[in-house]
A = this chain, B = another copy of it.
Amino acid sequence: MLGLMQDQPLLISSLLTHAERYHPRSEIVSVTCEGETVRSSWGQLARRARQAAQALLAMGVKPGDRVATLAWNTHRHLELYYAAAGIGAVLHTVNPRLFPEQIEYILNHGGAEVLLFDLPFLGLVDGLAGKIPNIRHQVVLTDAAHLPEGRDTLASYETLIAAEDGTLVWPRFDERSASGLCYTSGTTGNPKGVLYSHRSTVLHAFLCCQVDGLHLSRDDSTLLAVPLFHVNAWGIPYASAMCGAKLVLPGPKLDGESLFSLAVAEECTFSLGVPTVWLGLFKYLDEAGIDVQRLPFQRVLIGGSAAPRALLQRFHDAGVHAFQAWGMSETSPVATVAALLPHHRDLPKSDQIDVLARQGRAMFGVELKIVAEDGSELPQDGSVSGELMVRGPWVTSGYYGGVGGQVVDADGWFATGDVAKIDSEGFVTLTDRSKDVIKSGGEWISSIELENAALGHPAVEAAAVVGVTHERWQERPLMLVIRKPGSAAEPQEILDFLADKVARWWLPDALVFVDTLPLTATGKLDKKVLRAAWKDHLVGA
């Protein structure tokens, strides 16, 4: 017997309609690629999103069509989030930091006919001329004044939407309809597209607004230091409309100085981003001699890769509640959130940070388990590690176009490719990505734990550990370290420092100082590149 409650779909357009009605004056502050700071509000954004939707319709965009973007965090990009999804189209955000060949692959695979991009990406798009044949419309996210001369095929976004009256009424449709498409960066094989739905997006927004979730509320001013092209900017664009939070969009500038001054100017209470961004912020504060107490944040969410303990410590020393969440493109992304439990309240601060340095516990709606290589379920006892499996209404069931085939098992579990322990309280500790795991004589060594330990040494600015070929143990850990400017520490000193922090047989066989470490397009250590470069270090080329 079915219940008799209304069959109202969970639609992304409802989030915007809600924000327009109940939070019209809540601000949207946007730094554009032209360098202007544009101040608007959810009320204005809602109207402009309708105009943008009308402009998309005028270009012939139909329900289910993909609409591609190559753009930074600005109000225009945010408008497109709502405009495209609102008319039943699919916003396909493409990461402009990828290599042109990857962008070409992703655009062609996604199949959008409309591409909207920021002016700085004009060269990139021009370079793809002739290689992205689906694209019928190229729109630059700028106004007529900034549009380059003599480029008839380029339209200006501001000109297009100015021609529309904003009277569109958002259509209603099945909440399972596709709303967004985002390709994983492809550190393994070709990038694969995750196709979100209205339902998954709205449910995920509820998670963000939960007290014990991301705690997003009307009182927040959020500095969005995670790009809109990276997994829905972790759901914040949607959740902010749900609760009417102020949103601060930093545009192309994610350097420490830009983020700090924007955060101060806009009195940001909350921010979120990958560890690299925060390391950059503290580097700037240190170099500029700025007191970290001036950081206005109350909360900072660190995700995308393991939050170094030392980073969490720095935030907490500055009075900022930094915490970690785990997720992936395939999980919308938030799946776990680290939070103190009541019995942690009386612990010394440093032990509390240990808790927050773990990847957290599953939020309601997300089910987790770990399995052995043969697929059998492993105990969640905090010591055994295995591949993390995830299930839930905002977890993918397959990739766009069927790429990768069947990716969930018969019971609906998705294999994350992450290796983790789960303790009796449900805290997940990610030890590695399965492709990065170091297999020494058949036993696993966690590169994340080694890196985390090294980052506790005052001379270490960044550290990466990869498995390299070893004659006796097949693979052994090699640690690559960027030293802090001015430090004269020797490799052995850092290895000695690690000695009482990890198992003896985990200690890297070598530690090499490097000037830079390669990052992926989402700001993570690119271990594929490192492994290729260093694989023969212990055996000789």
What residues make up the interface of A, taking CB atoms closer than 8 Å to B? Answer: 1-10, 14-15, 18, 21-22, 63-64, 90, 174, 176-179, 194-200, 203, 206, 209-213, 215-219, 242-244, 332, 339, 341-342, 361-362, 364-365, 391-400, 408, 412, 414, 425-426
Contacts and interface: CB of A to CB of B under 8 A. Distances in A.
A6 B391 contact: yes
A161 B362 CA distance: 30
Contacts of A391: 6, 8
Contacts of A364: 14-15, 18, 242-243
Q: Which residue, of A1, A200, A212, A408, has the highest number of chain B Cβ atoms within 10 A?
A: A1
A5 B342 contact: no
B6 A412 contact: yes
B209 A210 contact: yes
A167 to B, nearest CB: 17
Contacts of A3: 176-179, 195-200
Contacts of A90: 1
Nearest to A393: B8
A195 B195 CA distance: 34
B397 A5 contact: yes
Contact of A64 (B1, B21, B206, B361): B1
Nearest to A218: B212
A210 B206 CA distance: 7
B392 A6 contact: yes
A364 B414 CA distance: 30
Contacts of A6: 391-397, 408, 412, 414
Contacts of A217: 210-212
29 contacts: A1-B90, A2-B174, A2-B176, A2-B178, A2-B197, A3-B178, A3-B195, A3-B200, A4-B178, A5-B195, A5-B332, A5-B397, A6-B395, A6-B397, A6-B414, A8-B392, A9-B393, A10-B365, A14-B364, A14-B365, A15-B364, A22-B362, A203-B206, A209-B212, A211-B211, A211-B217, A212-B217, A212-B243, A212-B244
A4 B194 contact: yes
Given A3-B177, A4-B194, A216 B211 contact: yes
Contacts of A194: 4
A21 B426 CA distance: 7
Contacts of A244: 212
A242 to B, nearest CB: 5
A521 to B, nearest CB: 22
Nearest to A215: B211
A364 B215 CA distance: 16
Given A14-B364, A210-B211, A218 B4 contact: no
Contact of A199 (B5, B14, B408): B5
A4 B177 contact: no
A213 B195 CA distance: 30
A394 B5 CA distance: 6
A361 B22 contact: yes
Given A339-B218, A342-B219, A5 B395 contact: yes
A104 to B, nearest CB: 23
A17 to B, nearest CB: 8
Contacts of A412: 6, 8
A210 B210 contact: yes
Nearest to A178: B3
Contacts of A425: 22
